Each structure stands twice: as structure tokens, then as C-alpha cells.
Amino acid sequence: MPFGKFVSLMIPWTILLLIGMYAIFLCLTKGLNQTNMDNRFAFGVWIFLDLSVIALGAGAFFTGFLVYIMKRDELRAVINSAVVLGFICYSGAILILMVDVGQPLRAWFTFWHPNIHSMLTEVTFCITCYLAVLSVEYAPLVLKNKKLKEIPAFLAMEYELHRIMPVLAGVGTFLSFFHQGSLGGLFGVLQAHPFAFREGLAIWPTTFFLFIISAAAAGPSFILLTTWIVSRISRKRLVSESVYTLLARISGSIPLVYVLLKSIDTFTWLNRTVPQMGLSGMSFFLWAPFNIWILFVEIIVFGLIPSLLLIFGGGRLRAGWLVASAALVCCGILLNRFVMTIQTLSLPTMAFDRFMLYTPSWQEISAFLFVVAYGVIIYSLSFRYLRLFPQETELDRN
Amino acid sequence: MKATEVGKKSTTKNADDVRGKTIFFFGIVGMLLFGWIIFPLFIYEQVDQPIQFSHRTHSGDNVALKCADCHSFDKDGRFVGIPAVSKCAGCHSHTIGASGEEKRLVEDYVIKNREIPWVVYSSQPENVYFSHATHVKLGKVDCISCHFGHQYTDRLRPAMFSRISGYSLDVFGSTLFDVPSTPSTGMRMDDCAGCHSKHGFKETCIDCHK
Amino acid sequence: MSAKRAKYGMVIDVDRCTGCGACMIACAAENNVPPGPADSTDRTGITLMRIYRADNGKDFPENESVFFPVSCQQCDHHPPCVSVCPQNAVEVDAATGIVAQIPVRCLGCRYCMAACPYHARYFNWWDPVWPEGMERELNPDVSLRMRGVVEKCNLCFHRLQTAREKAAAEGRAEIIAGEYVPACVEACPAAAITFGDLLDEESEVHRLSQRGESFRLLERLGTGPKVYYTSEREWVRALAEKDPASTPGRTAATD
């Protein structure tokens, strides 16, 4: 792609980035009154964004796990891209979290005075550690850049870093398991909100495990999706067909397991957990616009259907179908994160309480879009100047 | 010949090693010196008292005042702290000694009936609750347990305030770690908590933080 | 830090409450709650004590209302806000049973607000600003909270400190019941709120809390609130555990 065209493609994203930076600046200097969050909606679209991008970024740990620990070498074709995606998602999430807390300068309190009983402590520790791991995994990609490679020290460093990759992948998998789970636990422990509350297996509520599995489901789907989109835009073949097929199989079977477990969990919750609290499970779905359709869409339309398509259509369906199914799987995970944050807080907890909704302010939306634009720009730069897809040159030659 | 070359190489390597370790050692020492000694000097500003006062003279054998004779409680049980100038005027309504500071006290403050703008060493931050009555009247804690040796001083030392937080060195301490670098570090949170745990008092945050 | 353990709590007689809001005002004045800026709403303002209205769902003339003054319910058993706080800014004071929040330790993540079933926690969305002259009315016993931290009712803990200091000055280790009373209790013109030590079996608050007509909000959560409500009316008592979805639209918070 000529440099001029690349720049012209980046201009709209840069504008979004600048507007987002201004919104973040406003929030940091004037405070969170710039948002439309309130005492009831203490969490808003930003927490939804954090949960979503961390789930989508899970491809980094899951692919790393498959490549370095399960030795699935076919997936080396997408591991670099997965690392960049993970780095973008995690750094974006941490950035927005820093804007989202009322006193960002006190962020170190959690590290200095941690409350080990809080799910949020676990999340804070694990995502900061994992971002460090991702940065170290990202470094060799940068060092392999054609120009940087000419400096011998960088080359040596790249070699050393490469040797510890399996260790990093192991550490990353461990950290990811815990913080993906804790993000789910964050809501599952809320005994105040029967809608989100889940009974525990050992010390963790079931959402802990569901979030791990759903993140593992979203990761490969998101990699499939991005690889296909990038390949369309750059008009290059980036990975071989067999990699697409393998990714489709993985992206199909994990969501299928997830859908099964999620259904069991939902039934247990409707028929056991909620009645034990003296409430009727279906009563949560009486409040428009969050009626029963949301459960149906999440489990059937965004869960069961695309995962069946991905599993059984792998060899026969056209790439377009596979990609659409992968996109549906991602949407399902996003909807799940939306339900956990927004719907949970909108439901009344006391009899004289009200159902409430909230509309995010332009500052919140711009900061949200900032992360998207930041992701697109970092990924585009990485794609242009680094070697994200090792098979690319070989496939291009044929 | 080859052997000598190798030997030469390993000596240079050893020399490099020693040099590296030396640099590392001095780097650490320099950093610690900077952090513990030089940085506190920069970060604290010194404020002198408006007038000099000798606690030793007043508490010594000649005058023999007790702490509570000047630093008293009001009837609600609240500690008054530094006495008003009227208390001084009880004895110093006119000059009774030869000291220049006393002359200033009488002429500048007592006769003009102005309060002395004392600089307080031990003001706690706004979010700290402390009750003298609980400690002194109920707990029978001696004044000197926290205000070390204050009654024996001849001069009032300058107060040190952090340029960033505005807190006094006495209540905040010069370092994060428990190394008492100044004679009076008896009023930091660690000092409170240390004494409480020594005497078996279990406190929660809200007992001292408002 | 008295040797005797207490569990401070209150019993609010909702049959007496007229919803006048004196407790809300007294609370805000006592605890240095700043007046909200012009663009603040009932959803962003700070009301450590807040009055909710509910009715029996019938039409006139059978319609009846009730007002629920709701502050922090001082959960006694695993308060939901304590375990979620990532940096230990909330804890239960063992000597008094008061759920204590230290705003200087709070980083404003607002997880505790999401965790509280009573919506009794409030975030400082703005910097505290007082109209010219009003800052002279500030209570010196309560520190000001900065923008970006969460706060809640702590049963006017500073009043307990003042009572303890007075007792100490008189050489007493214990305060006398009645020396410590939160501002809302003092302000209620209908004397609807009874305050005291729930462990003290001689106390009025203990007696009232044990009556059959007394109940607590959302007792099913098992958090053991130390704020009791009492009413002679059956339907009012039923509100405590009622599924909010059973009468959607019929109940509303007073704004």
C-alpha cells in the first residue's frame, strides 16, 4: 500500500483519537461530572468497554497457550497479530480505567494496601502484570523491524526475549485465567443484585468460570475476524486456508461449550438461586427494554447458531460465512458484558426503588472511541512496519 | 601465544566486572544518600519561631512549672495547646529578667495585647482525629512519650514543613521507612500504631481518621 | 476505644415519619456536605440520608403512603461494601459495629456503590464548593471530602468521639447512653428515630428492635442491617422483602 494512501486511511482515526484525547483531558481535569454516570450507574459504558476489550484481547493469551504450551505450531501464523491485539486491548483498558477512577493519582493504593478479598484487587494486579508481559512479548516484534535489526544489541536482545517466550506464555495464561475470571467474579459476588449474583463453586461464583471460557471463546473469533478484515483491506493473503479452518474450529467449539455451561448456569440461577432469595427469576425480564429477548439473543442467536456454523461449516462454507459467524460470537460476548454491567445496575433492588437507565455523555463516548481509534492506529502501524503474519511473504510469492 | 591472549581477555573481563560492581555499589550508596539526606533537605522548608523560648528555664528548678500549668484543657475536655499570651502575662506583665527575647515578649506582645503567631510542630493533617484527653487523662500517658524531651530544650528549633503537602516533619517523618532521623518523630502514624499495639489497643481506621 | 463492645443502631418508626426531610438537611449540615452545583440532579447529589416514598397501590380513598428514610444500613454480617473495596477503605469498627468508610483511602473506583443493595453510598462528582460565607458554618470535627471519592453515613462517628473525649476528661472510660446521638436522630421533629446500643438490653432501641412490628430492609440478603424500621401496617412491613418487579411503576422514589 502506498504511503499516501496509508496516511489518508489513518486521518479519520487520528481525528477520533484527538477528540477522545480532549474528552479524557476534560475528565481528568474537571472530574467525572463530565460523564453522565451517577450514584446509581456508578459503572457505565467505560466498565462495559473494559470488560469487552479484555475479553476480545484474550486471543493473546489463548493463542500463546496453544502455540507455546500445547505446541500447535500452525497457529504461529497468527501469534504475532494476537500479541499486538492483546497489547492494544489491555493498554486501552488500563488507560480507560485510569480515567474512570475518581482519583487516578491514588491508583497505587491498591498495590500498597490491597484487600485480598476483593475481586477488583485481583483484577488490578493481574491486568497490570499481564500488560507488562504483553509489552515484553511485543518487544521482539518491534526489534525485528528491518531498520532496528541492524543494531546488533537489539538483535541479541530479540534473541534472548524469544527464548523466554514459552515462560511468558505460561505466565500470561496463568494471569489471564485469574483476571478474566475475576472480572466475572466482580459481578457474580454482588449479593445486592440478584440479577448478577451467582452461587459459588469453591470460593468463586460461577461467573468466574463463565468469563474465562467466554474470553477463550471470544479471543480466537476476534483473531479470525481481524485477520480477515486486514487481509481484505491490504489485498494480501496473510495466512493459509488451513489456519482459517483451524481458527474456525476453535472459535466454534469453545463457544459451544460456553453456551452449554451458560445455559446450565442460567437454569440453575432461574430455578434455584433466585427463588431461594424469595424472588421470581423471570421478574428481571419485565423491565423494557431489557426483556427476555436479551437472553434469547445472547444464548441462541449470538451463541448456539454461530458456533454450530463454525464447527460444521469449516470446510464447506465460504469465508464470508465463517467471518460473519465469528463476528456473531464476538457480539455474544459483548452482549454478555453489557448485560452484566448495564442491565445489572438498571434493575431496582428495593420495592420502593426505580428501574433506571442512563445515556452516556459525549465525553464518555469519545473516550470509548478513543480506545477503538488507538487500537486501529497501533495495529495498522504494526502491520505496516512489523512482521505480524510470518506466512505473508511466502503466500504472496505464490 | 593463544593462551596469553585468552588470559589477557579474562583479566580485562575481570577488571570490567570489578569496575561494574564498583559503579553499581556507588550508585546505590549515592541513591540512598540522595533519598535519605539530600532530598529531605530540599523538600522541607524551615520556618523559625516568631520569638525564642526556653522550656528548660521554665520547667527547671528555679521556676519549676509543670507541663499542665501552661498547656491545659478547657472545660469540655479539649486540649488548648499553646497558651494564650495572657498566660505569659501572668508572670511577664513587665520585664523580670535580662533576656532580650523576654523584652520583646513584653514590648511586642504583652503590652500590645497581641497573640504570638507560634509555629506548631505537631499539627496533624485535617483528616486526623486525636484526643489529648483520652491519652492524658484516661490513658495516663506522659507528655514526653510523644513530645520527646521538649521540656529540656533551651531554644525552639525551627519547624520543618513539606513543600508539597504542608505537613510538619514531626507528624510525617522524613522517610517512608521507620528510621528516626530526627530526635522528634513521635507523632507519625506508625508511632501511634506502634504504641497502640504495644499496649494491646486494637483500633480501626475511623478511630483516628475522619 | 472503650473496653465495652457496642452495636449502635436505630429503629425508625415509619408510621410517624412525615417525609419532611429534616433528617436529610441536618445530616448534610452536620457532615459538611457541599451544596450541589446547578447541573447536579437527584442522581448525582449527595444525600447520606435519603427519603423514599412508597404507596399501597390502591386508588383514592384507600390510597396510603409511607416514607422510608434510608441511610447506610450498617450491615453487621459481611457488609457487601467491605469485601469489595480493593484498598481497604471500608471496614467494620469492632468496638461499635459501625461500617466505617475512610474517604482519604478511597480511590473512587465505585465498586462499593455497585455492591450496596440500599444505594446508600454516594460519589463526589464535583469539587466541594460553598457559597461565600457558608464555609464559616463548616463542622470542624468532620473533614471535607475531595472530588472523586465515595462517602456514606457513619452514624456521625465524630459525635461519638466528642462524647468519648468529654467522658475521658471527666475520667470516665465509658460514655453514658444518650451522650452520643447522630444528627438525623436529633433533628427528627416527629421523634421517629430511636438510636442507641442494640446490645444494651436495657435500651429503648433494643426493646423496639425486638418488637414483632419491627423489620429490616432486604433481610433475605443476610447482611444483618443495624437499622430497623417499624410499622403497625402489614403492607408496609411487606415492602421490605417485596420483589420490586411485582408492582412495576406503582412505587417511586421521592426526588
Does C251 fall in a domain? no
Exposed, middle or buried: residue B207 (CB in 10 Å: 0-12, 13-18, 19+)? Answer: buried
Note down the domain range covering C157: 8-243
- Cell of residue A167, nine digits: 515462560
* Residue B37 vs residue C89, higher pLDDT: C89
Using a cut of 0.80, tell me whether the model's pTM lies above it.
yes
Output the domain CATH number for residue C221: 3.30.70.20
Identify the pLDDT of residue A163: 83
**Contacts with A190 from chain C: Cβ below 8 Å:** 80, 114-115
Q: Which candidate from B77, B205, B207 shows the least CB-CB separation from C166?
A: B77
Identify the pLDDT of residue C3: 53
Total length of chain C: 255
Residue of B nearest to C158 (CA): B210
Backbone angles phi, psi at A334, to 5 degrees: -60, -40
The answer on pLDDT for B184 being more than 50 is no
> How large is the C-alpha radius of gyration of chain A?
21
**Contact check, Cβ <8 Å, B77/C170:** yes
**Contact check, Cβ <8 Å, A351/C239:** yes
**Contact check, Cβ <8 Å, A110/C107:** yes
**Contacts with A39 from chain C: Cβ below 8 Å:** 43-44, 113, 119, 121-123
Tell me whether C173 touches chain B (CB under 8 Å). yes
CB proximity list for A358: less than 8 A, separation 6 or greater: A36, A37, A38, A40, A41, A44, A346
Output the domain CATH number for residue A319: 1.20.1630.10
Identify the pLDDT of residue C1: 45
State pLDDT tens for residues B86-129: 888 888 888 888 888 888 898 899 988 899 999 988 888 888 99
Note down the domain range covering A103: 3-397
Question: How much is the mean pLDDT over chain B?
Answer: 82
Closest CA to B150 of B209, B81, B208, B98: B81
The total number of structural domains in chain C stands at: 1
**Contact check, Cβ <8 Å, C169/B76:** yes
**Contacts with C103 from chain B: Cβ below 8 Å:** 127
Q: Is the CA virtual torsion A310, A316, A317, A322 positive or negative?
A: positive
Q: How far is C236 from chain B (nearest CA, A)?
A: 35
Tell me whether C163 touches chain A (CB under 8 Å). no
Mutation for testing the B interface, residue in C165, C172, C174 having most B CBs under 10 Å:
C165
Does C254 fall in a domain? no
Does C248 fall in a domain? no
Identify the pLDDT of residue A317: 65
Does C38 fall in a domain? yes
Does C122 fall in a domain? yes
Backbone angles phi, psi at A215, to 5 degrees: -70, -40
Q: Which candidate from B126, B131, B201 shows the least CB-CB separation from C143?
A: B126
Question: Where do the domains of chain B lie?
Answer: 1-46, 119-210
The total number of structural domains in chain A stands at: 1
pLDDT per residue, tens digit, chain C (255 aa), is 445 789 999 999 999 999 999 999 999 999 999 998 998 999 999 999 999 999 888 888 989 999 999 999 999 998 999 999 999 999 999 999 999 999 999 999 999 999 999 999 999 999 999 999 988 889 999 999 999 999 999 999 999 999 999 999 888 889 998 899 999 999 999 999 999 999 999 999 999 999 999 999 999 998 999 999 999 999 999 999 888 887 644 443 433
Chains that touch C (3 or more CB pairs under 8 A): A, B
**Contact check, Cβ <8 Å, C166/B76:** yes
Which residues 92-151 on chain C approach chain A with CB closer than 8 angstroms? 105-111, 113-119, 121-127, 146-150
State the ipTM, two decimals. 0.90
Chains that touch B (3 or more CB pairs under 8 A): C
Percent helix, strand, coil in chain B (nearest 5)? 45, 5, 45
Tell me whether C94 touches chain B (CB under 8 Å). yes
Tell me whether C192 touches chain A (CB under 8 Å). no
Q: Which candidate from B76, B138, B210 shows the least CB-CB separation from C142?
A: B210
**Contact check, Cβ <8 Å, C85/A352:** no
**Contact check, Cβ <8 Å, C107/A103:** yes
Residue of B nearest to C164 (CA): B134
CA distance A242 to A250: 12
Identify the pLDDT of residue C49: 95
Q: Are strands C122-123 and B159-162 parallel, antiparallel or unpaired?
A: unpaired
CA distance B57 to B65: 9
pLDDT per residue, tens digit, chain A (398 aa), is 789 999 999 999 999 999 999 999 999 999 999 999 999 999 999 999 999 999 999 888 888 888 888 888 888 899 999 999 999 999 999 999 999 999 999 999 999 999 999 999 999 999 999 999 999 889 888 888 877 878 888 888 888 888 888 888 888 888 888 889 999 999 999 988 999 999 887 788 999 999 999 999 999 999 999 999 999 998 888 888 888 888 888 888 999 999 999 999 999 999 999 998 888 888 888 888 888 899 999 999 999 999 998 888 766 667 788 889 999 999 999 999 999 999 999 999 998 888 999 999 999 999 999 999 999 999 999 999 988 888 877 776 65
Does C250 fall in a domain? no
**What distances in angstroms separate CA B64 from CA A226, A317, B51, one per listed residue?**
85, 101, 21
**Contact check, Cβ <8 Å, A353/C251:** yes
**Contact check, Cβ <8 Å, A113/C107:** no
- Cell of residue B53, nine digits: 523560648
CA distance A214 to A299: 12
Total length of chain A: 398
**Contact check, Cβ <8 Å, C221/A277:** yes
Backbone angles phi, psi at C246, to 5 degrees: -70, -25
Identify the pLDDT of residue A85: 94
Q: Which residues of C36-66 are buried (b: 16+ CB within 10 A; e: fewer)?
A: beeebeebbbbbbbbbbebbbeeeeeeeeeb
**Contacts with A29 from chain C: Cβ below 8 Å:** none
